[in-house]
Amino acid sequence: MSDLTELRQSYARGELRRQDLNPDPLVQFQGWLEEALATEQAEPYAVSLATADALGRPSVRTVLLRGADARGLTVYSNYHSHKGRDLADNPQAELLFYWPHLERQVRVYGPVERVGEVESSAYFHKRPRDSQLAAHVSAPQSAPIASRAELEAKFAALEARFAAGQQVPKPDFWGGYQVVPQSYEFWQGRPNRLHDRFEYLRGGEEWRITRLMP
């Protein structure tokens, strides 16, 4: 194995100054996301979602961002999954976006709310048909399964059940979550590990911006 203590990279692609920041962190985030989407990075809308259970045991996984507006940042999942169980017991989460092509990352923290059924159903039916079937097959998500063959057999059975052209219904156990931001942190890599970090903290309807030590 390589000596990981010898591996390092200096960041020199950009800088982040207080005067560069939009007073609204959502606008700032949307701008950075658009810049990330314009790079060659695969799935820059992928995000690490960190949750914790009722005992405080953390878990983290990668999901896909499917919306970012004034209500919050939206992802979709099986409500019975590990993350779904965490959020039922402890409805708060943190999101981490990492865009190495731009040497940037963004952290977003806040309470979590479920997206309404109408909106969840509308998104579900925008997904590819195979993804719709897979949402049914993967129930209960995160549960043990004996083999890949058993998983594929369940998928084939559902394919046969829902003939071509027949709408696949959204499962009751599947839908969206919105992280309602209480804080954002924008990080821009800089040389010599003197990175630029700015935190937005919500205070009522206003946001307070603070530069943080790297």
Q: Domain residues of the chain, as ranges?
A: 12-125+173-212, 128-169
Active site residue 193: yes
Question: pTM here?
Answer: 0.94
Q: What is the CATH number of domain 12-125+173-212?
A: 2.30.110.10
- Neighbour count for residue 202 (Cβ, 10 Å): 15
174, 79 Cβ separation under 8 angstroms: yes
Q: Which of 17, 18, 161, 193 is catalytic?
A: 193
Give yes or no for residue 160 having a pLDDT over 80.
yes
Segment (H or E) for 177: strand 174-179
Q: To the nearest whole number, what is the mean pLDDT of the chain?
A: 95
pLDDT tens-digit map of 10-63: 999 999 999 999 999 999 999 999 999 999 999 999 999 999 999 999 999 999
Q: Give which of 73, 69, 80 is closest to 135, Cα–Cα.
A: 80
- Cα dist. 140→43, 62, 74, 124, 153 in Å? 26, 19, 22, 18, 16
Please work out, in degrees rounded to the nearest 5, the angle formed at the alpha carbon of residue 120 by the alpha carbons of 118 and 124: 115
